[in-house]
Chain A
Amino acid sequence: DAGITQSPRHKVTETGTPVTLRCHQTENHRYMYWYRQDPGHGLRLIHYSYGVKDTDKGEVSDGYSVSRSKTEDFLLTLESATSSQTSVYFCAIRDGSQETQYFGPGTRLLVL
């Protein structure tokens, strides 16, 4: 997984609770991304980061926030989880000089 870890790997939570997912990389890559993967859809971008403290929204950012205080960590927060946020979440990284994205192992989130 190209030096990318995600935690937790599985989580069950209740509607209305806050949830934070963590992505950690050891590659010192500049770009980091959060995607969600759902049946019938390709990977959809939630938020991405192009450097420490530099983030921007993707196509499905409503209900999610992110933070990147260090190069190696990119956090995704669901402020108040909803059942529609039940999904598999993937983090990806990309070196600034290349276009190839590498993905982490994923986090399966179930919101009851």
Chain B
Amino acid sequence: GESVGLHLPTLSVQEGDNSIINCAYSNSASDYFIWYKQESGKGPQFIIDIRSNMDKRQGQRVTVLLNKTVKHLSLQIAATQPGDSAVYFCAENMGTYKYIFGTGTRLKVLA
């Protein structure tokens, strides 16, 4: 079974709806941010990244929004699919070796 996320916040969405997953980051000096997806029993998978000089970045079906004023990051997934079910977490980097990782949000896609 999973060792990750026994008490994670869970977001349940209907298949086809849009999902928004939020992350509050800790350090105002962080200048690079990453969203990862982690499926059960697997390693974190890179989804999308954004630098602090941007407010928004779009990928395929995913958009990341960055609000530096309130140190908030969000991941939007359009037309959520069953394969999107996973734990999602953000990471911040200050340009050094060190990354700070969030504990994650579990996304459940309802058929």
Q: A residues engaging B (CB < 8 A)?
A: 1-2, 4, 31, 33, 37-45, 48, 50, 56, 87-88, 90, 99-106, 108
Query: In chain B, residues 13-44, which have Cβ atoms closer than 8 Å to a Cβ of chain A?
Result: 32, 34, 36, 41-44
- Greatest chain A CB density within 10 A among B3, B42, B95, B103 is at B3
Known: A90-B43, A99-B93. A42 touches B4 (CB 8 A): no
**A99 to B, closest residue via Cβ:** B32
Known: A40-B7, A87-B3. A1 touches B43 (CB 8 A): yes
Known: A90-B43, A100-B49. A50 touches B3 (CB 8 A): no
Which chain A residues lie closer than 8 Å to B4 at the CB level? Answer: 37, 39, 88
Contact A50 B97, beta carbon cutoff 8 Å: yes
- Give 24 A-B contacts (CB < 8 Å), ordered by A residue: A1-B43, A2-B46, A4-B43, A31-B97, A37-B4, A38-B3, A39-B6, A40-B6, A40-B7, A40-B103, A42-B100, A42-B102, A42-B103, A43-B91, A43-B99, A45-B98, A45-B99, A48-B97, A90-B44, A99-B32, A99-B34, A101-B46, A103-B44, A108-B3
Which chain A residues lie closer than 8 Å to B95 at the CB level? Answer: 99
| A2 to B99 Cα, complex, angstroms | 19
Using C-beta atoms within 8 Å of the partner chain, give the interface range for chain B: 20 to 34
Chain B proximity of A112: nearest CB distance (Å): 15
Contact A105 B6, beta carbon cutoff 8 Å: no
| A70 to B32 Cα, complex, angstroms | 29
B9 sits at the interface (CB 8 A): no
Chain A proximity of B74: nearest CB distance (Å): 17
Known: A31-B97, A42-B101. A104 touches B43 (CB 8 A): yes
Contact B97 A100, beta carbon cutoff 8 Å: no
